C-alpha cells in the first residue's frame, strides 16, 4: 500500500476512465475521497484525504499547474475545473488529421477551434524570425502549442509544438500541391518560373511534377539538399505563389490564405535546410583540410595544436566545426578501423597525461626522419666521447658489448628524443608497415627495420654499428695507437706519467696553501706563474660572482644538477652527468688554447656557458637556466684545480 497518492496519475486515470479532458474538481475530489476510505485510516495522510480531500488535493494540483502539467480554472476562490493538455492538443491534432485527408481544410486558429488556450501552454512565434531556431530543437519543448504569426497581415495559425520538427513542412507542401492542381495554376506558375531556369527547363518540369505526384519525395530532396537545383526551385516556387496571391488584395478565400501561409512556411524550411546543407559542406571541407594538415611535417600534433589549425587563408578551422564535433571526429578516427587494421590516426602517449596524434599513413615517414635526426645528433657525441676514452687507453662497456651499446643508445634517445622513443615503444610501426608494405611513398629498406611483425634493435634503427664506430674512432687517433706493442708501451708510460703528475699537483697545491704571497708581491708572482696558476686565480675571482652565499662549490653543483638532470634511472642519470662534464672539459681544452688568463672574466664565463648550452648536444635539456648556471660553476671548478 502506498504512503501517499500520486495525484497526477490518479487524475489521468480518472480522466481516461471517464473519457474526459476537462475534469470537474468537485467530482474528482469525491472520487478520491471514496478511494482514500479504502486505505488504512491509521495513516494521517489517508485519514485527512478521506475527511477533507480539498485540503490535500488543492496544493498538489496547484503545484502540477505551476509545472505546466495541468491547468486549473477557479470560480471566486474555489477550484472549479481541471484541464488536461489533451483538452487543447486533441482538437488541434484532429484538425490537422482532417487536413491530411482534405487539403482544402485551412490551418486552424483558436477562433476556428473555439478554444481559449491557457497562456502557459501556447507560445506566439514569428514564422520568419523564430521558427528557424525551433525546427531542430532537441529535447522537450517548453510549450505544447505554437501560435504562428505571419507577415502581410495574414491571420495566425495554431500548431502542435512537436509538429514543427517535420510535419508542419509536410502540411505546407500539401497545400502548395493543392494550389498547383487547381485550374491553370500549374501552367501559370511554370511560365513565371521558366525565365529563372534557362537551360534547366526539364529539371523545372520534373520538380513541379514531383510535387504533384510524389510530394513527400520533393520534401526529402529539400531536407537533404543534395542537388544545387533544389533550393532555387523551392525559393522561386514560393515567391511566384506569394506574388500571385498578393495580387488578389483583400479577395483572398480561406483556401488562398492557407496557401499563402504555406508559402511562408516553405520559405523558412527551404532556407533552414539550405543553410544546414552549407554548414555541413563547410564542416566536411574543414575536416578534409584538417586531415591534410595532419599529414604535413612534423606529422605529430597535440590536441591543442589540432584545435588551432587554420586553412590556407589563415582562418581557424574551429568554427566551421564545433569543439564537440572535433572531439567526436578525432574519437572516430582514432578508434574505428576494419578488423585487423589500425585506425587512420594513431595516439602516442608521450609523457604523463600527454598524447600526440599522427596519421597512420605518415607514421613511418615520421620515424624515418626522426631516426635520421637522432643518428646525426648521437653519432658525433659518441665518437667524441669514445675518442677521449681511447686517447687515454681506457674503455667503456658500450665499446665492448652489443647489449651495453644498445642500452646506452636507448638511454641517449630517451634523454634527447623522448617522443621518438615513445613512438618506437608504441609498437605501431610493424603493424603500419604490414598494412602499407609495397607503397611507393615508403623507402624500400624498411623491411629490415619493421618487417616480420617486429621492430629492429635500437642500433639497427639508428644505423650505428658498435664495431664500425670503434674502427672509425681509431682512425682519428695517432697511428701508433693502432700498433698493439707500441700502444701498450705508450699506454704504460702514460699511466705512469699520470700518477706522477697527480702527485706533483698534490704537492703544488699543498705548497700553495702553506706559502701565500705577501701583499704587494701578487703582480710579480702572477707574471712568473704558469698559465694554469693564472687561470686558477681568475677562476677563484669569477667564482665569487656565481656562488651563492652559504654554499660550497661542490654542494651547489649538486643542487644545480638535481634541477637540470631529471632522469629517474640512477645509471642513466650518472651517465648524462658525466657526458656533460666531459663536454665541458673538451670545450675548455679548445677555448683556453687562445684565451689569456685575464680574459677569464664572469661575463666571458657567462657567454661560454650560453654557447655550450645552446649546442646541439645540450639543446634538448629542458631546464636551460639551471644547466647554464651549472656549466659556469663547473668550468670554474675545473680551472681551480
Residue 66 maps to a domain: yes
Residue 620 maps to a domain: yes
Residue 549 maps to a domain: yes
Same domain, 253 and 171: yes
Same domain, 127 and 233: yes
Same domain, 556 and 465: no
Pairing of strands 22-24, 78-83: antiparallel
Same domain, 77 and 203: no
| Number of domains observed in the structure of the chain | 4
Residue 508 maps to a domain: no
Q: What is the pLDDT of residue 471?
A: 87
For the chain, list residues with pLDDT below 50. Answer: 1, 485-489, 493, 496, 499-500, 503-529
- Contacts by residues 412-415 (CB-CB < 8 Å, ≥ 24 positions apart): 412/378, 412/381, 413/374, 413/378, 413/458, 413/462, 414/572, 415/567, 415/572, 415/576, 415/620
Which of 341, 469, 437 is closest to 445 using CA atoms? 437
Whether the CA torsion 480, 481, 484, 487 is positive or negative: it is: positive
Q: What is the pLDDT of residue 37?
A: 83
Output the CA angle 252-258-263, nearest 5 degrees: 105
Range of the domain at 19: 7-84
Q: What is the pLDDT of residue 569?
A: 74
Pairing of strands 157-160, 145-149: antiparallel
Residue 494 maps to a domain: no
Q: Where are the beta strands (DSSP E) in 91-189?
A: 122-126, 145-149, 157-160
Same domain, 34 and 172: no
Same domain, 225 and 155: yes
The domain boundary, picked from 21, 56, 84, lies at 84
Residue 487 maps to a domain: no
Q: What is the pLDDT of residue 509?
A: 45
Residue 524 maps to a domain: no
The domain boundary, picked from 24, 49, 84, lies at 84
pLDDT in tens, 194-240: 999 999 999 999 999 999 999 999 999 999 877 889 999 999 999 99
Percent of the residues in the chain that have a pLDDT greater than 70, as a whole number = 91
Q: What is the pLDDT of residue 54?
A: 86
Same domain, 348 and 392: yes
pLDDT in tens, 371-410: 999 999 999 999 999 988 887 777 889 999 999 999 999 9
Same domain, 101 and 80: no
Which of 85, 89, 95, 84 is closest to 160 using CA atoms? 89
In degrees rounded to 5, what are phi and psi of residue 156? -75, 170
DSSP-based three-state secondary structure for 125: strand
Q: What is the pLDDT of residue 481?
A: 52
The domain boundary, picked from 84, 118, 134, lies at 84
Same domain, 141 and 243: yes
Contact by Cβ (8 Å): 432, 364? yes
Same domain, 233 and 333: no
Same domain, 102 and 237: yes
Which of 89, 85, 25, 92 is closest to 60 using CA atoms? 25
Residue 283 maps to a domain: no
Same domain, 472 and 556: no
Amino acid at each position: 500500500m502506498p504512503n501517499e497518492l500520486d495525484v497526477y496519475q490518479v487524475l489521468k486515470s480518472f480522466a481516461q476512465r471517464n473519457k474526459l479532458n476537462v475534469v470537474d474538481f468537485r467530482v474528482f475530489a469525491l472520487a478520491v475521497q471514496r478511494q482514500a476510505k479504502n486505505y488504512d485510516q491509521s495513516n494521517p495522510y489517508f485519514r485527512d484525504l478521506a475527511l477533507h480531500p480539498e485540503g490535500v488535493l488543492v496544493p498538489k494540483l496547484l503545484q502540477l499547474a505551476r509545472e505546466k502539467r495541468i491547468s486549473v480554472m477557479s470560480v471566486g476562490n474555489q477550484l472549479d475545473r481541471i484541464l488536461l493538455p489533451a483538452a487543447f492538443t486533441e482538437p488541434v491534432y484532429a484538425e490537422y488529421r482532417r487536413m491530411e485527408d482534405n487539403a482544402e481544410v485551412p490551418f486552424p486558429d483558436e477562433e476556428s477551434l473555439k478554444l481559449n488556450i491557457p497562456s502557459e501552454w501556447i507560445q506566439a512565434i514569428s514564422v520568419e524570425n523564430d521558427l528557424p531556431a525551433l525546427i531542430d530543437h532537441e529535447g522537450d519543448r517548453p510549450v505544447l502549442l505554437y501560435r504562428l504569426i505571419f507577415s502581410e497581415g495574414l491571420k495566425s495559425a495554431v500548431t502542435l509544438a512537436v509538429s514543427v520538427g517535420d510535419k508542419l513542412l509536410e502540411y505546407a507542401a500539401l497545400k502548395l500541391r493543392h494550389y498547383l492542381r487547381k485550374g491553370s495554376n500549374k501552367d501559370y506558375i511554370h511560365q513565371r518560373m521558366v525565365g529563372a531556369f534557362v537551360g534547366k527547363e526539364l529539371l523545372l518540369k520534373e520538380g513541379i511534377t514531383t510535387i504533384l505526384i510524389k510530394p513527400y519525395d520533393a520534401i526529402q530532396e529539400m531536407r537533404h539538399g543534395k542537388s544545387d537545383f533544389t533550393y532555387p526551385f523551392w525559393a522561386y516556387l514560393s515567391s511566384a505563389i506569394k506574388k500571385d496571391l498578393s495580387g488578389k488584395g483583400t479577395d483572398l478565400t480561406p483556401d488562398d490564405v492557407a496557401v499563402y501561409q504555406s508559402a511562408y512556411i516553405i520559405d523558412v524550411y527551404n532556407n533552414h535546410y539550405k543553410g544546414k546543407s552549407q554548414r555541413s559542406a563547410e564542416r566536411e571541407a574543414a575536416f578534409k583540410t584538417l586531415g591534410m594538415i595532419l599529414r604535413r611535417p612534423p606529422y605529430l600534433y597535440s590536441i591543442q595544436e589540432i584545435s588551432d589549425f587554420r586553412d590556407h587563408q589563415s582562418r581557424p578551422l574551429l568554427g566551421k566545426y564545433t569543439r564537440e564535433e572535433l572531439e567526436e571526429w578525432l574519437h572516430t578516427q582514432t578508434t574505428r578501423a576494419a578488423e585487423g587494421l589500425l585506425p587512420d590516426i594513431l595516439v602516442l602517449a608521450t609523457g604523463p597525461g600527454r598524447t600526440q596524434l599522427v596519421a597512420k599513413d605518415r607514421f613511418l615517414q615520421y620515424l624515418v626522419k626522426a631516426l635520421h635526426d637522432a643518428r646525426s645528433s648521437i653519432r658525433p657525441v659518441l665518437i667524441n666521447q669514445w675518442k677521449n676514452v681511447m686517447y687515454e687507453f681506457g674503455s667503456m662497456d658500450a665499446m665492448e658489448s652489443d647489449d651495453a651499446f644498445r642500452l646506452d643508445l636507448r638511454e641517449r634517445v630517451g634523454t634527447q628524443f623522448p617522443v621518438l622513443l615513445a613512438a618506437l615503444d608504441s609498437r605501431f610501426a610493424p603493424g603500419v608497415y604490414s598494412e602499407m608494405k609495397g607503397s611507393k611513398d615508403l623507402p624500400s629498406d624498411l623491411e629490415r627495420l619493421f618487417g616480420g611483425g617486429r621492430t629492429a634493435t635500437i642500433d639497427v634503427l639508428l644505423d650505428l654499428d658498435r664495431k664500425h664506430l670503434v674502427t672509425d674512432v681509431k682512425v682519428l687517433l695517432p697511428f701508433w695507437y693502432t700498433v698493439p706493442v707500441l700502444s701498450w708501451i705508450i699506454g704504460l708510460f702514460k699511466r705512469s706519467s699520470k700518477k706522477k703528475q697527480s702527485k706533483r699537483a698534490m704537492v703544488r697545491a699543498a705548497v700553495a696553501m702553506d706559502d701565500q704571497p705577501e701583499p704587494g708581491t701578487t703582480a710579480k708572482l702572477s707574471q712568473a706563474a704558469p698559465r694554469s696558476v693564472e687561470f686558477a686565480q681568475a677562476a677563484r675571482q669569477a667564482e665569487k660572482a656565481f656562488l651563492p652565499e652559504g654554499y660550497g662549490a661542490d654542494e651547489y653543483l649538486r643542487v644545480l644538477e638535481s634541477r637540470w638532470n631529471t632522469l629517474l634511472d640512477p645509471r642513466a642519470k650518472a651517465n648524462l652527468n658525466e657526458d656533460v662534464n666531459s663536454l665541458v672539459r673538451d670545450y675548455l681544452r679548445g677555448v683556453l688554447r687562445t684565451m689569456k688568463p685575464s680574459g677569464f672574466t664572469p661575463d666571458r664565463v657567462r657567454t661560454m656557458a650560453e654557447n655550450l648550452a645552446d649546442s646541439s648536444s645540450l639543446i634538448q635539456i629542458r631546464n636551460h637556466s639551471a644547466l647554464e648556471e651549472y656549466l659556469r660553476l663547473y668550468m670554474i671548478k675545473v680551472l681551480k684545480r
